[in-house]
A = this chain, B = another copy of it.
Amino acid sequence: MKISIIGVGLIGGSIGLALRNQNNKFFKNKKITIVGVGRKPLRLALAQRLGAIDKFTTSIKDGVKDADIIFIATPVKTIPRIFEEVILYCKTSAIITDVGSVKVEVLKKIKQSLAAHLKKSSTSAGKGPFFVSSHPIAGGEKTSVVYAKPDLFKNAVTVITPLNKKTPRQVIDTIKKLWLAIGSKVYIMSPEHHDDILARTSHLPHIVAYALVNSLKIPTDKNYTGPGWRDTTRIASSDPDMWAEIINLNKNAVLKALKKLKSNIAQIEKSLSDEKSLSKIFSKSKNTRDSIHSTP
């Protein structure tokens, strides 16, 4: 069984490491080969050295031609373009997935490319290549393969968003089992639902972290940031281009989330002179958070 990972960074690299560590739960003792595909040979050689991939190539064509499963783990905006190239060269039985943080805009393009390709290649109905989208909700503010780890997806949640109702059940199941095998929980939902939720749980926290850091007076405030500030702003150290892409691509859902956030901030501001009201707002928030992440 041959697996291609296009884009061997934190996520792609961790997928490679995790696949080796899953004790053949998924592959049932079939030998697997993991091929890394990327633009920079030095980075790919590093991924190989770290054990995330078996071999590598800078050619998408060479990297995907015999692959059974193909991960597109590149920046979200590049996914549709890479997908277009992948379907030109992969096997008709191949299953392609991505790991992008935004679905609606990306899947719109992929749906078009796939339909055009299947029509042109006059493949009979129900034949592939197949695509089903994934989003492992895991990561960190560092994006290099240097920070990749085999347990990145352990106890994380992966959202699977099928392209449409025509996606064969077996294709969805294969990708689902793969994420389960590397320790992830899996939920299946529509692209719209995914983008709506992630705007609140991921894109909004990034915006807030960036805005918080830019609220400091520099250099005056530099010495006075404690552990609270450090954690609240950790993700402001994330890749700015990557997050500009994600937030821009999901702007409609992000706008809705921002509206809610601004109203919550306004409510706190209005209550600044009223300790009891403040405490009530904060209590509600604490209860919700404790119910999601209870620390011992």
List the B side residues contacting A226 at CB < 8 Å: 137-139, 156-157, 201-202
**Do A245 and B211 touch across chains, with their CB atoms under 8 A apart?**
no
- Contact surface of A with B, Cβ cutoff 8 Å: 137-142, 156-157, 159, 185, 187, 197-198, 200-202, 204-218, 220-241, 243-245, 247-248, 251, 254-255, 257-258, 260-262, 264-265, 268-269, 272-276, 278-286, 288-293, 295
- Supposing A265-B262, A293-B230 touch, asked if A281 and B214 sit within 8 A by C-beta, the answer is yes
**Do A231 and B228 touch across chains, with their CB atoms under 8 A apart?**
no
Contact of A273 among B236, B251, B289 (CB under 8 A): B251
Extra inter-chain contacts (6) besides given A210-B264, A225-B292, A236-B285, CB under 8 Å: A185-B223, A205-B232, A211-B261, A213-B286, A232-B233, A251-B272
Instruction: Write the chain B residue with the least CB distance to A140.
Output: B227
16 residue pairs from A and B, CB less than 8 Å apart: A138-B227, A185-B223, A201-B224, A204-B212, A205-B232, A213-B286, A214-B288, A215-B264, A218-B288, A222-B291, A222-B292, A231-B232, A237-B290, A240-B283, A248-B272, A255-B269
Contact of A244 among B230, B261, B278 (CB under 8 A): B278
- Supposing A213-B288, A224-B157 touch, asked if A278 and B247 sit within 8 A by C-beta, the answer is yes
Query: How many copies of this chain sit in the oligomeric assembly?
Result: 2
List the B side residues contacting A260 at CB < 8 Å: 215
**Do A208 and B212 touch across chains, with their CB atoms under 8 A apart?**
yes
List the B side residues contacting A229 at CB < 8 Å: 201-202, 205
Instruction: Write the chain B residue with the least CB distance to A248.
Output: B275
**Do A269 and B258 touch across chains, with their CB atoms under 8 A apart?**
yes
**Do B261 and A223 touch across chains, with their CB atoms under 8 A apart?**
no
Whole-angstrom distance between the alpha carbons of A219 and B118 in the complex? 40
**Do A223 and B139 touch across chains, with their CB atoms under 8 A apart?**
no
Contact of A231 among B204, B218, B234 (CB under 8 A): B234
**A44 CB to nearest chain B CB (Å):** 23
Contact of A200 among B156, B215, B289 (CB under 8 A): B215
- Supposing A210-B282, A265-B258 touch, asked if A288 and B228 sit within 8 A by C-beta, the answer is no
User: Which of A139, A214, A254 counts the most chain B CB atoms within 10 A?
Assistant: A214
User: Which of A204, A209, A290 counts the most chain B CB atoms within 10 A?
Assistant: A209
**Do A233 and B289 touch across chains, with their CB atoms under 8 A apart?**
yes
Contact of A289 among B237, B254, B255 (CB under 8 A): B237
**Do A205 and B224 touch across chains, with their CB atoms under 8 A apart?**
no
**A165 CB to nearest chain B CB (Å):** 22
- Supposing A200-B216, A279-B240, A279-B241 touch, asked if A285 and B224 sit within 8 A by C-beta, the answer is no
